Amino acid sequence: MSDAMVQVQNVHKSYVRGKQTVEVLHGLSLDIPRGDFVALMGPSGSGKTTLLNLVGGLDTPTSGEVLVGGERIDQLSGGRLAEWRARNVGFVFQFYNLMPVLTAEANVELPLLLTNLTAAQRRKSVAIVLEVVGLADRARHKPKELSGGQEQRVAIARALVSDPAILICDEPTGDLDRKTADEILGLLQVLNREHGKTVVMVTHDPKAAEFASRTLHLEKGQLLEQAAAA
């Protein structure tokens, strides 16, 4: 059995925009080993976020196969895919995407509402991950009462709380200053190295990419490494 956490095989992805069909990914193939920390870089429109969405089960390919943890997620229906995401993936976005009406701890608890955990078990899990991201003392604060870095830590805690094997991060430091960005990236590195999480991160920032164990470059819907080999 392959030790690849993510296997993308000959994936094409097209979008219909008005009367036009735009192909974003052209037969892309990629393996990401379990426990890897991969940075995806490339110019705007190169297909980074599209690839990330496919790996995270937010979108399905037009053709080709996407396997995550050995499961063909490109064949899952909407409901099954939602269940799969809840169990297997944690997402971190550039603009945090927290629920403004909920406190930090309630935001983190949100994915656990999909589990069978009791309220007490949920509270315990939330407390642990908030401790891991260093925000135990801000648990009762709402997002607008937190700094950008703290909001992103809450988002990471929310991504971690259901203990997923893979973290999908779309420009996680794009909205942060250098110092805060480095702290967040350091946290992702810790999660990767010490907790064994596979991290796939899209970034425009070469300094951010330095925190990853390897960097893949996309251009015009293909991996540069793959294009060169062809």
Partner 1 sequence: MTRTGFVIANLWRKKTRTVLTLLSIVTAFLLFGLLQAVNVLFSAGADFVGATRLVTQARVSFTQSLPMRHLPQIESVPGVERVMWSQWFGGVWQENTQLIIQAVDPARLRDVYPEFVMPDAEWKAFENTRTGMIAGRNLANQYGWKIGQKVPIASNIFPQQDGSKAWTFDLVGIYDGKDEEWQRSTNGGWINFAYFDEANQFARGLAGVYIIRLADPDDAPGVATTIDGMFENSPDETKTQTEKDFNIGFFKQIGDIGLIVRWILFAVFFTLLLVVGNTIAQSVRERIPELAILKTLGFKDGAVLGFVLAEAAALCVIGGFIGLGIATPLGVIITKASGGYLPLAVDANVWVMGAIAVVVLSLAVGLLPALRAKRLTIVDALAGR
Helix axis angle, 148-160 to 178-195, nearest 10°: 20
Q: Which of 26, 29, 102, 227 binds partner 1 (CB under 8 A)?
A: 102
Position among 12, 14, 34, 58 found at the interface with partner 1 (CB under 8 A): 58
DSSP label of 204: S
Closest CA to 167 of 136, 133, 144, 121: 133
Give the residue, chosen from 7, 46, 53, 173, that forms a contact with partner 1 under the rule CB under 8 A.
Answer: 53
Contact with partner 1 (CB under 8 A): which of 111, 143, 149, 172? 111
- Compute the least distance from the CB of residue 107 to partner 1, in Å: 9
Nearer to partner 1, 1 or 78 (CB): 78
Q: Which of the residues 28 through 47 are near partner 1 (CB under 8 A)?
A: none
List, in order, residues 6 or more apart from 47 with CB less than 8 Å away.
13, 24, 25, 28, 218, 220, 221, 222
How many residues sit close enough to partner 1 to count as binding (CB under 8 A)? 27
Residue type at 97?
N
Q: How far is the CB of 227 from partner 1 (least distance, A)?
A: 25
Using the structure block, give the residue that is written with the tokens 């951010």.
Answer: 208
60 in Cβ contact with 51 (< 8 Å): no
* 22 touches partner 1 (CB under 8 A): no
Helices 148-160, 119-132: axis angle to 10 degrees equals: 130
Distances (CA, A) of 115 to 83, 91, 118, 156, 157: 10, 17, 9, 19, 16
Q: Minimum distance from CB of 85 to partner 1 (Å)? A: 5
Contacting range for partner 1; rule: CB under 8 A; set: 51-59, 178-186, 195-203, 221-229: 51-59
Binds partner 1 by CB under 8 A, chosen from 8, 36, 85, 151: 85
With respect to partner 1, which residue has the nearer C-beta, 107 or 150? 107
Consecutive H or E run containing 127 = helix 119-132
What part of residues 149-178 is at the interface with partner 1 (CB under 8 A)?
A: 158
| Candidate residues 21, 114, 206, 225; the one interacting with partner 1 per rule CB under 8 A | 114
Binding region for partner 1 (CB under 8 A): 53, 56, 58-59, 78-79, 82-83, 85-87, 91, 93, 97, 99-102, 105-106, 109-111, 113-114, 119, 158
